[in-house]
Amino acid sequence: MSQVIVITSGKGGVGKTTTSANVGTALALSGRQVVLVDADIGLRNLDVVMGLENRIVYDLVDVVEGRCRLRQALIKDKRFDGLFLLPAAQTRDKSAVSPEQMKKLTDSLKEEFDYVILDCPAGIEQGFKNAIAGADRALVVTTPEVSAVRDADRIIGLLESHGISNTQLIINRVRMNMVKRGDMMAMEDVVEILAIDLIGVVPDDENIVVSTNKGEPAAAEANSLAGKAFRNIAERVEGKEIPFLDLQADSNFVGRLKKVFGFGH
Amino acid sequence: MGEENLVVFKGTAEGIMVLLDENADFEEIMDNFKQKLEQSKAFFKGSKVTMRFKGRSLNRQQQDRLLMLLANQNVINISFVHAFETESSEQEDNHLAWVKEQLDSQYASLSHFHYGIVRSGHHVDYQGNVIVLGDVNPGGLVTAGGNVIVLGALKGKAHAGLNLKNDKPFIVAYTMHPIQIGIKNSIAQSPNGEFICGTTTNCPQIAYLHDEQIYVDQIDFKTLNHMLK
């Protein structure tokens, strides 16, 4: 049963595109047929993050306006079996497509793929409405900041009013040491406010910046903690029960020793 | 000019209906009305009727002038003049339908129940009381003509008693951490961003108005006495 999943947040810069790229990659790694759709028309990024920018010939707007067939616009990621990208147009804006057209597009993608992952633009305007038009479920990305949580709350309300109730939460860029000091909202606080199911917590990881710039999804890197978190999210998307990562794991030797002897928390 | 049609008499089951032209000058209508009355002297002779005006909305002064005209004529013996209509009858029907619908609906009482969380950007408004079965999140707004009761945490904004006739409106919440609360014409916000409500946080709090001041306290005998004083 294939699914259309929209990845959204309301606020910009919390990691929607990174999450889309990594969750999509992780799903493809576990053998699924996945297409990543960049719904951020005019401000496309997903192709850059995936390192596929130089292979774009046709884009989403070309498909919608009938200048090419859907197949022609899909870019196959040669590194990962079963992973495709449908890029957004860069020279147009959000008004170039309508929610009805997006619904039609996702419906036809659904026939060929197990997962259609939509990278939603920031905001609640036309771009958002386009992105959620054909979605079966949503992953709401937030960071543990008051402003991001506030926007996520608004987005969850809007998703509900559009009839998307299968909504789960990803908390991105968690810095455990700051949480411990009480300088950052704890995961529990975020979940308490938003009152939806948590599907993943991604630690703040410098390597993400590096891999994003290189166009190589971190989910494919075996020893990246954030990559591991994204792979876990992908498994939970598939309905598997995976315990949450222990982000409190101290990386130094003394910390690990303390833990072994029960002095940890 | 077709002046004859500015005023039309119509016999109905409940009396005479007078249709006034919607667009013509009011003075012309008055003249035409006077003429029409004279003309129909024979017809109305000796009968007692009720009269209803229809067709155009009249301001207070125009209504008075029409009534004066009726009072000073000796053509018709008018027993009753229906209230002037300010709305068209279609609107009236809509209004009646709305009232009926409200009475049939689950909100027949003066309370509106909101099921679930009031999220950021969401506005729950009702003329009566509002009961939220869930939290009111930061950025959410609840306004009520009467009281607001939040069976959860109030972390957004709430305004009670917008219907100023309401006596002693209040806001109750299990956890009172509003960004802002308003009761009637008073608005309060906490100096440090959050209300600090007593030492216990697990008992419901009530916000009420006393001498134009908003008080927040836990619900007990003393508080209620103070509120009702």
Domains of chain A with bracketed CATH: 3-260 (3.40.50.300)
Which residue of chain A comes nearest to B153, CA vs CA?
Answer: A193
Token pair of A94 as six digits: 């959000």
**Confidence check: pLDDT of A197 > 80:** yes
CB A38 within 8 A of CB A87: yes
Chain A stretch 174-213, residues whose beta carbon is closer than 8 A to a beta carbon of chain B: 193, 195
**Confidence check: pLDDT of B72 > 80:** no
| Three-state helix/strand/coil letters over chain B | CCHHHCEEEEEECCEEEEEECCCCCHHHHHHHHHHHHHHCHHHHCCCEEEEEEECCCCCHHHHHHHHHHHHCCCCCEEEEECCCCCCCHHHHHHHHHHHHHHHHCCCCCCEEEEECCECCCCEEEECCEEEEECCECCCCEEEECCCEEEEEEECCEEEECCCCCCCCCEEEEEEECCCEEEECCEEECCCCCCCCCCCCCCCCEEEEEECCEEEEEECCHHHHHHHHC
Cβ neighbours for A236, distance < 8 A, ≥ 6 positions apart:
A199, A200, A242
CB B167 within 8 A of CB B147: no
Nearest to B120 among A154, A160, A195 (CB): A154
Span A120-142, mean pLDDT? 96
CB A10 within 8 A of CB A138: no
| CB of B136 less than 8 A from some CB of A | no
Would you state the pLDDT for residue B199? 42
Q: Is B55 or A206 the better-scoring residue by pLDDT? A: A206
**Confidence check: pLDDT of B69 > 50:** yes
Cβ B117–A151 below 8 Å, yes or no? no
Nearest to A157 among B122, B135, B138 (CB): B122
The interface predicted TM-score of the complex, written ipTM, equals: 0.75
Nearest to A154 among B121, B134, B155 (CB): B121
Would you state the pLDDT for residue A253? 57
| CB of B57 less than 8 A from some CB of A | no
| CB of A162 less than 8 A from some CB of B | no
For the ranges A80-89, A178-187, B49-58, B193-202, the lowest mean pLDDT is seen at: B193-202
Cβ A154–B138 below 8 Å, yes or no? no
| CB of A158 less than 8 A from some CB of B | yes
Token pair of B23 as six digits: 């667009």
Cβ neighbours for A111, distance < 8 A, ≥ 6 positions apart:
A2
Would you state the pLDDT for residue B197? 45
For the ranges A33-47, A234-248, B139-153, the lowest mean pLDDT is seen at: A234-248
The winner for highest mean pLDDT among A187-201, B34-48, B77-91, B100-114 is A187-201
Would you state the pLDDT for residue B91? 66
Mean model confidence pLDDT for chain A: 92
Would you state the pLDDT for residue B94? 75
- Could you tell me the pLDDT band of residue A5, with boundaries at 50, 70 and 90? very high
| CB of B120 less than 8 A from some CB of A | yes
* Domains, in order of start, for chain B: 3-88 (3.30.750.50), 111-228 (2.160.20.70)
Query: Within 10 Å of residue B198's Cβ, how many Cβ atoms?
Result: 12
Cβ B139–A153 below 8 Å, yes or no? yes
**Confidence check: pLDDT of A32 > 60:** yes
**Confidence check: pLDDT of B107 > 50:** no
DSSP 8-state class, residue A203: E
Would you state the pLDDT for residue A35? 97
Cβ A154–B155 below 8 Å, yes or no? no
H helix or E strand, kind and range, residue A118: strand A115-119
H helix or E strand, kind and range, residue A50: none
